[in-house]
């Protein structure tokens, strides 16, 4: 007996000239009908982040995105090793603390 193959998803067409956006900060909010994710860039020590993209989706689409992210991160970590999240600080602590220059070498 053969294993059924999953159905292929829709083909995605990427517009010519579409530039990738780097983001190191996301803010997520919601209403009863929508999930809103703002993607931003912030430099260490800065207090203002520049929102580069705003994505709106249904709660169902957000849940499916979460599932896809979990699956992809699991495959990434299986291939390349665990991603360590800094502790005990939160991500917000790491992003918003004042800039600290590197320690001088003790030589």
Number of folded domains in the chain? 1
In the chain, how many H helices and how many E strands? 2, 3
The mean pLDDT of 45-61, rounded to a whole number, is 93
Looking at the domain assignment, is residue 33 inside a domain? Answer: yes
Looking at the domain assignment, is residue 5 inside a domain? Answer: no
Looking at the domain assignment, is residue 46 inside a domain? Answer: yes
Looking at the domain assignment, is residue 106 inside a domain? Answer: no
pLDDT confidence bin for 85, thresholds 50/70/90: confident
Whole-number Å distance between alpha carbons of 103 and 87: 20
Do β-strands 50-57 and 35-41 pair in parallel, antiparallel, or remain unpaired?
Answer: antiparallel
Give me the domain span that covers residue 92: 25-96
Mean pLDDT of the chain: 85
Whole-number Å distance between alpha carbons of 67 and 72: 9
Looking at the domain assignment, is residue 50 inside a domain? Answer: yes
Residue 40: name the closest of 49, 48, 32 by CA.
Answer: 49
By mean pLDDT, which of 30-34, 42-46, 78-82, 98-102 is the weakest?
A: 98-102
Instruction: For 4-97, list the strands marked E by DSSP.
Output: 25-30, 35-41, 50-57
- Using omega within 30 degrees of 0 as the cis cutoff, is the peptide bond preceding 55 cis? no
**If phi over 0 gives left and psi between -120 and 50 gives alpha, with beta otherwise, what is residue 83?**
beta
Looking at the domain assignment, is residue 91 inside a domain? Answer: yes
pTM, rounded to two decimals: 0.68
Give pLDDT, residue 72. Answer: 96
Looking at the domain assignment, is residue 56 inside a domain? Answer: yes
The mean pLDDT of 66-76, rounded to a whole number, is 96
Looking at the domain assignment, is residue 19 inside a domain? Answer: no
């Amino acid at each position: 007996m053969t294993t059924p193959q999953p159905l292929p998803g829709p083909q995605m067409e990427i517009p010519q000239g579409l530039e990738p956006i780097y983001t190191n900060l996301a803010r997520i909010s919601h209403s009863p009908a929508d999930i809103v994710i703002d993607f931003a860039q912030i430099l260490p020590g800065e207090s203002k982040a520049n929102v580069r993209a705003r994505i709106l989706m249904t709660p169902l689409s957000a849940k499916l995105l979460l599932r896809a992210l979990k699956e992809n991160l699991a495959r990434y970590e299986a291939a390349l090793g665990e991603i360590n999240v800094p502790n005990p600080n939160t991500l917000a602590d790491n992003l918003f603390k004042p800039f600290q220059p590197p320690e001088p070498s003790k030589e």
